[in-house]
Structure 1
């Protein structure tokens, strides 16, 4: 279990076609186990890049990210992948469900090729029940609404019991009412399962319901404050 993530002087620079883009610049942040943190800002502010760095999907150009004092990114690709599987769950704006697989099979995909000490089928059914879709086990994505597809994606993200859940605009493709339900589900996972949540959004109404709000613009942190935690 990772109890703390510390970002020290994090910068990420992309160079392409002779153009240098500073996605994030000199970021200093720490996150503690159990927090529900929203990261808000306009498009291009660096929110998604920061989430990718924290989630070990990308490496910073400068600085380091420590997970309980360990620099995971200095390890081999296999060990980084193992760490990501064991500790981190991802939810994206696009559901990324495989169209030919059922809801149950989609939830099982992170466990393919993995040795675990529990029944994969039982665990997948448990998380589908947790997100309210136990009656949709055999439904294909095309047979599900947008909100239901996102709930399948959440079930897939938590099937391996991660201690950190990273959500990148998870309600961006949903209507307001459905988005509120998805947000409430993530809050429930945070409060009942103790799963830490980093929630990237441009929706200020949802952002201000978090315990903590980080505002970004042009790759830098503008503000880091407490939310209302509704």
Structure 2
């Protein structure tokens, strides 16, 4: 159970047409389990790149990422995949629900390839109840509103009981009122389960409600300060 993430001199570069682009550079941050952190900044500032690196979806060009002092990205692909399943849940702006599967079946997809001790079907029902969709378990994505689809995506992200929840613009495709409800749901999950939440957003009003607000620009951190909840 990882309770701390440490990023040290983290950098990410891309090379195209002989030109090197520094998406991230010299990132030094520590995240604590149980904390709700918002990362904000303009498009191209490096927010999503940072989230992908912290969540082990991509590897840094320079620097290192440690979970409780252990450098995860030095492990094999299989070990990293196992670690990701045990520790991390992802929520994206695009819901990425499979259109031919019901809400419950979509939620259960992360568990199909894993050997888990608890009953998979019941666990899926539990998390859908938790996000307020007990009456939509057998609905297809096309039968759900945008906000309901995002809640299914959230349920899928927490079905394996992760210690860290990473949300990349999860309210970006939703209207303001629905986006605020999704934010409050993530906030409640953070409080109830004591999982660390790192939330990328363009919305400064939502970011200010977090425990901590990190502002990025041009691939670097320009401020790191407490949110309104602190």
- TM-score bracket for this pair, using the shorter chain length: over 0.9
Residue of structure 2 equivalent to 1:59: 59
Query: Where do 4+ consecutive residues of structure 1 move more than 6 Å?
Result: none
Give CA-to-partner distance per residue, 1:138-174, whole Å, 9 cap, x none.
1000000000000000000000000000000000000
Task: State the SS of the aligned residue for 1:216.
Answer: strand
Structure 2: gaps spanning 5 or more residues: none
Task: Give TM-score scaled by structure 2 length.
Answer: 0.99
Task: State the SS of the aligned residue for 2:48.
Answer: helix
Residue of structure 1 equivalent to 2:85: 85
Q: Residues 1-230 of structure 1: matches in 2 within 5 Å?
A: 1-229=1-229
- Deviation (angstroms), 1:13: 0.2
Give CA-to-partner distance per residue, 1:185-207, whole Å, 9 cap, x none.
00000011101100000100000
**Root mean square deviation, CA, Å:** 0.7
CA distance in 1, matches of 2:151, 2:229: 22
- Deviation (angstroms), 1:19: 2.2
CA distance in 2, matches of 1:169, 1:17: 29
Task: State the SS of the aligned residue for 1:127.
Answer: helix
Task: Give TM-score scaled by structure 1 length.
Answer: 0.99
Give CA-to-partner distance per residue, 1:89-111, whole Å, 9 cap, x none.
00000000000000000000001
